[in-house]
Chains A and B, each alone.
Chain A
Amino acid sequence: MSELHKILKIENLNVVYKTRRGDVKAVRNVNLDLIKGETLAVMGESGSGKTTLAMTILRLLPDAARVLTGKVIYSNNGKEVDLLKLDDNAMRKFRWKEIAMVFQAAQNAFNPLITIWEHVKDTYRDHGIKVSKNEMLSKVEKLMEFVQLDSKRVLNSYPHELSGGMKQRTLIALALLLDPKVLILDEPTTALDILTQRNILELLKSIKKNLSLSMILISHDLAIAAELADRIVTFYAGAMVELGNVNDIFYDPKHPYTQGLIRSVPTVSKEKQLYSIPGSPPDLVNLPDGCKFAPRCKFVAEKCRKEEPRLDYVKEGHYVACYRWRDIENDSDN
């Protein structure tokens, strides 16, 4: 896969949050690439490190967070920069122009006191871009049309005057304002109604089709990943436990946690036997030794409790961090 352009390379990333109880190990030993043009879904539960990962890429971590080790290398037009080494000013110019984000809970991502048009102007100004009002207007009108909003009405509105779905579409339009190469979507449809959610999903699909964007989709909702992702990475307790293309992950998952997740979610179209994963996720301050999933895993072996497994090669593009994936595979009726 050497000819593929890796627009983002995350190398050996470790992030903790300082708390009185000790360090919360939010992201552990992550090595992950984003390939140009792909949609990579980061799947995992709350506390699995997926939002911390996104915030690290954009350098928006809260004060209590520390990046212990690692690089986030952005490469475009033959130039490479380590985002973690940029100074604040350079990062501010970089953010939104190169990598933009659609935040979770759209309703809280706006400044309630200013209109959407002022948000547009602020976005240009804060990222150090000087363009005329007419240029701004024509760009934003094009985007509003793309996200199916009435730009005249929306631009003059205050955030509270828009419905949930309109806010989310506006947020997506604002994220696209400076033509970013990478778009990070953090739970883009959570808290939306089913019909509105479908509308946003269709919009994201059309962004995928029509704009040559690379996307990182962060979601706890397997269905959203099934709908949009090209590749999926499963996170558990801050670390990657499985990486593969969407079909590998859904139809041939190797990690017992990925398997458990997929088998515990009902669908309307198929009546299948469901299995629940026993126990709950570990405390990120006092992580168990060895594989962090071992206390919940029905395939656990002695080795699992001693040393944490690294990602093992399954096949082209498919990796799993489990000592026992071959045994589990043979036990096909698990």
Chain B
Amino acid sequence: MLPATDGGILKMTPIIELKHIGKSFIVKRGIFSEKREVKILDDVNLAVEEGEVLALVGESGCGKTTTAKIIAGIHKPTKGEFLYRGKNVWKMNKEEFVRYRRAVQLIHQDPYASLNPTMRVFDTIKAPLLRHKIVEKKKVYDKVLELLEMVDLNPPEEYAFKYPHQLSGGERQRVTIARALTVGPEFIVADEPVSMLDVSIRLSIIELLKDLREKMGVGFLFVTHDLAMAKYFALEGKTAVMYLGKVVEYGNTRDVIDNPLHPYTQVLLKAIPEADPEVTRKKEMPKLRSLDVPSFLNLPTGCRFHTRCPLYMEGLCNKKEPKLREVSSTRKVSCWLYHDEEGNVKEGVLKGVV
């Protein structure tokens, strides 16, 4: 795609862009209660450039999977715009939508549920190849083998005729990756792709995804609760941290993980146990004001983290909601420690910080 010009400066259109995205679900608890709208995502703004990797981290229930599903085109946002190469996906004509669908592929968390148990590997991979007319019928077999080889399922002739139950978790995840590759994607949404796999298998799948990124220039949204894995996978890319449906911090992965600004990111990093006894036993976590995660049905006023934040400022954090604002050209954070109420970066708060 040709770069668009923006005020005379060359600027690439991001491949994926979320603008003020909101997503609500209607819930009804019990027979007599009223229907209620639950806002899972609120004003989420994110962009991913061509070939870039963005790690989206947060705890369960923070909205990261909902974000992934919006980018994969499974959920339609209730607010805001979701753009693929500058075009609103939900206002595309059919042809454009098909192009988007092919370009953006999803890899699920659970390789046990995402493969049809009655279909052999060959049929699973053949289907999209034929549906999207990627290869002619007589060349399908070779193409399937080529894809299986690409995901290190060797010998491919053998794997092609196995059923999912004959495969291990790691092998199944390789099949789902091969299936995603059938359509030659530009962008892969990987939602906790290794969290259900055994420890010894995880890294090999991560390495495979890294390989695709490096060799084929595929961009990634890597959704995970594992900050160490996020750092490993997205070291050269970006990381966004989510809390209760909002992005609270964004920046280069190394900056965010090594030098977190938002109190939530800081607490998370201090809380994670690490596979290194000396390091992990020295960790000290600041005391949280509360252990309980607030419910989406009853969100806190002001900053959503204020009910738990160790650096809570009475009268400000519980009253006014901070916005995700730049603190430098590469870094954004939503916290009153860094910005004043006019949105200016406070002096002296970024000493030694990118």
Contact = CB atoms under 8 A, between A and B. Distances in A.
Interface string B258-302: 000000000111011111110111000100100111000000000
B285 A268 contact: no
Contact of B200 (A226, A266, A277): A277
A241 interface: no
A195 interface: yes
Interface string B168-201: 1011000000000000000000000000001111
A290 interface: no
A294 to B, nearest CB: 15
Interface stretch (A24-32, A68-76, A121-129, A256-264): A256-264
Contacts of A165: 291
7 contacts: A195-B267, A198-B272, A222-B275, A224-B273, A227-B273, A267-B276, A270-B276
Interface string A184-217: 0000000001111111011000000000000000
Contacts of A227: 273, 277, 280-281
Given A261-B200, A266-B229, A276-B200, 11 more contacts: A45-B199, A195-B271, A195-B308, A197-B271, A227-B280, A266-B231, A271-B231, A274-B203, A277-B200, A277-B203, A278-B204
A47 to B, nearest CB: 8
A280 interface: yes
Given A195-B288, A195-B291, A265-B228, A276 B207 contact: yes
Given A45-B198, A276-B203, A276-B204, A270 B268 contact: no
A280 B168 contact: yes
A195 B307 CA distance: 14
B271 A194 contact: yes
A269 B267 contact: no
Interface of A: 45-46, 163, 165, 193-199, 201-202, 220-224, 226-227, 246-247, 250, 257, 260-262, 264-271, 274-278, 280-281
B328 interface: no
Contacts of A198: 271-273, 285
A22 to B, nearest CB: 17
A268 B273 contact: no
Contact of A267 (B268, B279, B288): B279
Interface string B195-221: 000111111101100000000000000
A299 B10 CA distance: 53
Contacts of B271: 194-195, 197-198
A222 B232 contact: no
Given A197-B271, A198-B271, A270 B279 contact: yes
Contact of A269 (B206, B268, B276, B288): B276
Contacts of A275: 203
A277 to B, nearest CB: 4
Contacts of B59: 193-195
A264 B225 CA distance: 17
A230 to B, nearest CB: 10
Contacts of A257: 200
B257 A220 contact: no
B274 A268 contact: yes
A107 to B, nearest CB: 13
Nearest to A274: B203
A223 B280 contact: yes
A277 B204 contact: yes
Contacts, number: 120
B227 interface: yes
B344 interface: no
A267 B281 contact: no
Contacts of A195: 59, 267-268, 271, 288, 291, 308
Contacts of A277: 200-201, 203-204
Contacts of A260: 200
B200 A250 contact: no
Contact of B269 (A197, A247, A268): A268
Most buried by A among B199, B202, B206, B231: B199
Contact of B199 (A193, A226, A265): A265
Interface string B299-324: 00000000010000000000000000
A163 B292 contact: yes
Most chain A beta-carbon neighbours within 10 Å: one of B202, B235, B273? B273
Contacts of A268: 227-228, 231, 257, 269, 272, 274
B272 A264 contact: no
B330 interface: no
B101 to A, nearest CB: 32
B275 A267 contact: yes
Contacts of B116: none
A34 B157 CA distance: 49
B114 interface: no
Contacts of B171: 280
A223 B272 contact: yes
Nearest to A277: B200
B88 interface: no
A226 B275 contact: yes
A323 B281 CA distance: 33
B199 A223 contact: no
Contacts of B229: 266
B296 to A, nearest CB: 14
Given A261-B199, A266-B232, A197 B204 contact: no
B28 to A, nearest CB: 18
B275 A250 contact: yes
Nearest 4 CB-CB pairings of A with B: A276-B203, A198-B271, A223-B273, A222-B275
B60 interface: yes
Contacts of B281: 226-227
A260 B199 CA distance: 10
Q: Which of A193, A202, A221, A274 has the most CB of B within 10 A?
A: A193
Which of A198, A223, A227, A269: most chain B Cβ within 10 A?
A269
A240 B273 CA distance: 25
B132 to A, nearest CB: 31
Contact of B277 (A246, A269, A270): A246
A271 B279 CA distance: 13
B123 to A, nearest CB: 23
